[in-house]
Structure 1
């Protein structure tokens, strides 16, 4: 969708410029993309240290990873239910 995400954010982050509805929605998508990618990265790092967590914490992390995957698939335009089969 976007080339270099951080450059896109900088482009939309200029002060004192009125943003159109399209620019605002693009900025929102970029923000969500950055957030989900960061969470996925954090989860991968946590997964490496999984032996330090309780069974309940591991289950919570697994559910969070599934949610992040679902969000990323929706953003990529992939139907999650089709992929699941």
Structure 2
């Protein structure tokens, strides 16, 4: 099942607390909230206890990952090499 985007009105104090807790856990506020809701819905029996959260949607190798960024100097070097 894919992730969906929803909007909720939430007290600013809760959002600040969520940000702090997520930072302490070294994860995004979105991931922290998803984990919290997953745990709660399992505990109250709304979803099966063996349900696994969705993985990172960015999984796998991405185009240009790990490649150094070109700078003006390398662009000039590339041009002069191709002219010779």
- TM-score w.r.t. length of structure 2: 0.24
Q: Which has the higher contact order (CA 8 A, sep 6+)?
A: 1
For the pair shown, the structure with the greater C-alpha radius of gyration is 2
Give the helix-richer structure, 1 or 2: 1
